[in-house]
Structure 1
Amino acid sequence: MGEADAEEAVLLIHGFGANTSHWRFNQPVLAEQAPTYAIDLLGFGRSDQPRARLKDEAASDDAVHYGFDLWGKQVADFCHEVIDRPVRLVGNSIGGVVALRAAQLLGEHCRGVVLIDCAQRLMDDKQLETQPAWMTWIRPALKTLVRQRWLSTALFRNAARPGVIRSVLKQAYPSGANIDDELVNLLLKPTQRDGATEAFRGFINLFDDHLAPQLMEELKVPVHLIWGAKDPWEPIAEARRWTQTIGCIESLEVIPEAGHCPHDEAPDQVNPVLQRLIKTASTQQAT
């Protein structure tokens, strides 16, 4: 049986600060339909947490430049070496941008991408024209500040507390559904590791990296969007604009009361959409 006839697998890619456990309500359900994997991006969850090297810093053996090329290659390598069959990538938040970059690298090995509230990355320099004028004025000072390791470490340690995590979750999950101790703990536990601050430092210094629309302009595979209507950080209006202007996007499914992580906040609504997309893709491959 050639790869064109092989059963499709699914790979779930978490967002910033999350990990494989964030798919707690999705992976078991999808696994009943297709081989389903989840991955901890480098620097998060249980993965290695090497020291961060910023773009203009000298290369060293013990440091990496955290960014979408690094994470995209990690996902592509995992698909080739572990999954070893055609794959559909599902990514939430920055995991969506990672999925798009990985899809580029995978070429025909990727059957499609599902973006769940994909990160729009409004702090990227290429997004400045969409931001208020004052953002342009403070940008140089902001860049100088966030590159300081002492500051990024202090910011991270302040955020890596149960009360703060729960407060952020109340913003991300506007319905309040599934904000439980299990969720707080699965997000908190990786932050207690020694190297946990490094990926945070690398990420907040990504001012010139890939944007989702640019990556999709070059994609040949179908892309589907799932979006929480009340996402406080990634406006649904932008998702609708993408759907109207980007050729590879085939559908947009809006989850009415959900926010930034509808797969965890409203899995009873998101899982059927994912199952339908996987089933439809499998049917199309079989005909």
Structure 2
Amino acid sequence: MVLEFKNAEIFYTDQGKGTAIVLIHGFLENTTMWQNIVPELSKRNRVITIDLLGHGKSDCLGYMHSTELFSETIEAVLKHLRIRKSILIGHSLGGYVALAFAEKNPNKVKGLCLMNSTTEEDDDERKTLRLRANKMIQDNFTNMIRMSFANLFGEKSRTVFKDEMKLALNEALQTPIQGYIAGQEGMRIRPNRNHVLVNNDFKKLIIIGKKDPVLDFETSLKEAENTDSEVVVFPDGHMSHIENKDELTNVLKEFVKKL
């Protein structure tokens, strides 16, 4: 289904009945990343997936997709569907977007899950890397995507989940260059949103990959402790929906069941 937002088309899906769950994909991903999880969650819940601006079947809006702008698209879809309160589950960039939504609309959140994500802002090194990537991507799109994508997985996973990686990579390669640049810019300037978890009493869950090459394991554990969030640790990398598919599905079902 498609919703118009500021003259841009936003693609979303809506399945099942019950408690509303919003699944928010990560950078260079789209709604297809949830294809194994939606059938399970939608048995007892209403599950909404949304293609963020510049990803999947959704349009771009300029060259800066801030987390606030991304969250406005979530808000627009939920308003269109007349959903007042929901559980937000965000992978990586999707977690940043969920936090931006919760900061503005805490009363509309029943629970929030950061999946391989963080409340922290980028450090200076990461900000520099994003700027450099945005310059390089214009001449080396395919190679850049392939390289950065492979680095999201644990070393063992690259062999074990070779076929799944290939499918996910093909989806990533469909991302327009404008969407890539706008997304990187938005992540680069995002603020620290630790306070969103600290100051709200909705249910919180942080899912961590022990070998996540993007997020430091010990730092993530400390973050969960400091924000009074439930924590689940998987043994692999940044892509829990591929590397720990069955375990992740069970964890999310249990998290939703408690709300």
Fold agreement, TM-score > 0.5: yes
Whichever structure has more strand as a proportion of its residues is 2
User: 2:186 aligned with 1:208, yes or no?
Assistant: no
Cα 1:83–1:267, aligned 2, differ >3 Å: closer, same or farther?
Answer: farther
> Secondary structure of the equivalent of 1:232?
coil
After superposition, residues 213-252 of structure 1 pair within 5 angstroms as 213-247=194-228, 249=229, 251-252=230-231
Q: Which amino acid aligns with 2:255?
A: L
Equivalent in the alignment of 1:62: none
> Secondary structure of the equivalent of 1:185?
helix
Give the alignment's TM-score, normalised by structure 1.
0.73
In 2: Cα distance, 1:67 partner to 1:173 partner: 34
User: 2:167 aligned with 1:188, yes or no?
Assistant: no
After superposition, residues 1-287 of structure 1 pair within 5 angstroms as 7-52=18-63, 65-82=64-81, 84-119=83-118, 124=122, 127-128=123-124, 135=125, 148=135, 151-160=136-145, 164=147, 167-168=150-151, 170-171=153-154, 174=157, 176-180=159-163, 183-189=165-171, 191-192=173-174, 196-205=176-185, 206-247=187-228, 249=229, 251-255=230-234, 257-281=235-259
Cα 1:34–1:227, aligned 2, differ >3 Å: closer, same or farther?
Answer: same
Equivalent in the alignment of 2:6: none
Q: Which amino acid aligns with 1:9?
A: A
Q: Would you say how many aligned residue pairs link Structure 1 and Structure 2? A: 242
> Secondary structure of the equivalent of 1:80?
helix
Contact 1:9–1:83 (CA under 8 A) maintained in structure 2: no
Contact 1:173–1:265 (CA under 8 A) maintained in structure 2: no
Whichever structure has more helix as a proportion of its residues is 1
Contact 2:112–2:202 (CA under 8 A) maintained in structure 1: yes
Query: What root-mean-square deviation, in Å, do the aligned CA atoms of Structure 1 and Structure 2 show?
Result: 3.0
Contact 1:13–1:96 (CA under 8 A) maintained in structure 2: yes
Cα 1:202–1:105, aligned 2, differ >3 Å: closer, same or farther?
Answer: same
Contact 2:26–2:94 (CA under 8 A) maintained in structure 1: yes
Larger radius of gyration: 1
Deviation at 1:227, TM superposition (A): 1.4
Q: Which amino acid aligns with 1:115?
A: L
> Secondary structure of the equivalent of 1:38?
strand
Query: Which stretches in structure 1 are left out of the alignment for 5+ residues?
Result: 1-5, 53-64, 129-134, 282-287
> Secondary structure of the equivalent of 2:207?
strand
Q: Which amino acid aligns with 1:226?
A: I
In 1: Cα distance, 2:152 partner to 2:145 partner: 13
Query: Which stretches in structure 2 are left out of the alignment for 5+ residues?
Result: 1-16
Deviation at 1:100, TM superposition (A): 1.1
Alpha-carbon deviations, 1:73-111, whole Å to 9, x = none? 111221221262421000011111111111223332210
In 2: Cα distance, 1:218 partner to 1:264 partner: 32
> Secondary structure of the equivalent of 1:227?
strand
In 1: Cα distance, 2:231 partner to 2:161 partner: 24
Contact 1:23–1:264 (CA under 8 A) maintained in structure 2: no
In 1: Cα distance, 2:130 partner to 2:224 partner: 32
In 1: Cα distance, 2:130 partner to 2:101 partner: 28
Cα 1:83–1:254, aligned 2, differ >3 Å: closer, same or farther?
Answer: farther
More off after superposition, 78-87 vs 170-179 = 170-179
In 1: Cα distance, 2:90 partner to 2:199 partner: 18
More off after superposition, 219-228 vs 31-40 = 219-228
